[in-house]
Structure 1
Amino acid sequence: MENLPDRQHPHAHLRASDTDRDRVVDVLRDALMSGRLTQDEHAERLEQTLQARTLGELEPITQDLVIPAQATPAAAPSNSPVPIEEPANPSDSFDTMFAIFGGGERKGRWRVKRRTNAVAIFGGHDLDMTDAVFEGREVTIYAFAIFGGIDLTVPDSVEVRNQGVGIFGGFGARGGDSPDPNAPVVIVKGLALFGGVGGQVSSKRHKKRFKNHGGHGQLDH
């Protein structure tokens, strides 16, 4: 196996949980997609992750992929029209939510992680980011709607980049018409299979909603 540099972990003796291993898997996946790891390196480190039993065994796997919090330069004052608060450890900025034969909702002053996995199977999610705090200037929503629906609401200053696919369904996330360059960017990826992923722009001046009816998008004014 690849030898990675050692670094003492303050809790190296503690047993690793499935959540701890999932965090490392997410970091490795992002590193592979960005070209920082080759396919062989990713496969080797993924095997190490699945075999790890303690936090001390997990940490070296990603220590050359994650910038330590103390090494991160102080952030410049933000001119963003919506609040952005960078997390101390970017690798911990992820969230996962499920709606199976039911529904889920996020609204008010909640924190939008750098990565959010939203899965709706015969159910639905309503993610309202109007008053949310963003944990990065770029956040990614992985939306998977299977016989279900996921609705996103963003401030009109936020840019939304739609990179999802609809198969017998609708995938049409939308952002503001004239986004602020200092505001966060929301990247929406995933799949709508016999379901829909839609976006809504919220402001004091106007409101546009992209709804999914039976898996087919419809823009309402």
Structure 2
Amino acid sequence: MSDERPEKPLPELRASDADRDRVVERLRDAVAEGRLDMDEFEERLEAAYKSRTYAELEPLTQDLPAPAGGPVARPSSSAVGAAEPWTGRIGGGGSSATAVAVMSGFQRKGRWTVPARFDAVAFWGGGQLDLREADFAQREVVINCVAVMGGIEITVPPGVELDVRGFGFMGAFDQRDNPGPVEPGAPRVVVTGFAFWGGVEIKVKKRKRPLDGPSLRKEL
């Protein structure tokens, strides 16, 4: 006899856009089935789009029958494992929003917060931005790079959504590696700007150590 038990919910886990969409779809079905009136639907719809965690999403469909696919807004064990690296790393105020190197250099690494927009300028100089241990002020951040006879190197961890839009004139925007499949809950990093007689290089590297724990060390 098999022992099947329901998965334990993790209410503190951040909900994704797909989770919110599933709840909204179930609410629409409930209206069509006559289980909710329009006032209730509009109230729950607004709450669904404002929800950030499973604890906020689950009450919205708790009194409705689950769809054939199973409970709404409850992560599977595999999804939980994939989302864990980004839990608690998105949201809050950003650190400094500008870095400038004129015949010099700049560096951002370790535990820092990438703001919604970060401007990096290198003129006859160089800069390094390491996002592997960074937090992110928003789900999508924009890093605008200007490299004139200089270079800027950006390092991101695997699993982020990477969008490189910059261009080079007698210079180059070079994405060396593929970050791989986008992990649930991962941020979107947009790199834009231009390089003139210079270069912007985007690398993908794994962290050597986890973010949490006594053995954390900064590394490049």
Q: TM-score, normalised by structure 2?
A: 0.54
Within 2, Cα distance between the matches of 1:106 and 1:204? 15
Of Structure 1 and Structure 2, which has the larger fraction of its residues in strand? 1
Give the C-alpha shift of residue 76 in structure 1.
2.3
Contact 2:113 2:134 in 1 (8 A): yes
Give the C-alpha shift of residue 110 in structure 1.
0.7
User: Does residue 198 of the first structure (1) align with residue 176 of the second (2)?
Assistant: no
Choose the corresponding residue for 1:156, options 152, 158, 175. 158
User: Does residue 85 of the first structure (1) align with residue 90 of the second (2)?
Assistant: yes
Within 2, Cα distance between the matches of 1:186 and 1:80? 19
Contact 2:90 2:187 in 1 (8 A): no
Within 2, Cα distance between the matches of 1:98 and 1:196? 15
Give the C-alpha shift of residue 97 in structure 1.
1.1
Contact 2:107 2:127 in 1 (8 A): yes
Q: Deviations over 1:81-125 (max 9, x none)?
A: 23533236xxx7770110110000011001111100000000111
TM alignment of 1:15-54, pairs within 5 A: none
Contact 1:84 1:136 in 2 (8 A): no
Which residue is equivalent to 1:101? 103
Which residue is equivalent to 1:185? 188
Within 1, Cα distance between the matches of 2:105 and 2:188? 26
Contact 2:129 2:154 in 1 (8 A): yes
Which structure would you say has the larger Rg? Answer: 2
C-alpha change, 1:199 and 1:98, in structure 2 (3 Å) is same
- Give the alignment's Cα RMSD to 1 decimal: 2.5
Mark the runs of 5 or more structure 1 residues left unpaired by the alignment: 1-71, 206-221
What percentage of aligned pairs have identical amino acids? 37
TM alignment of 1:105-124, pairs within 5 A: 105-124=107-126
- Which letter maps to 2:159? S
Within 2, Cα distance between the matches of 1:102 and 1:162? 25
| Structure 2 counterpart SS, 1:171 | strand
Contact 2:132 2:207 in 1 (8 A): no
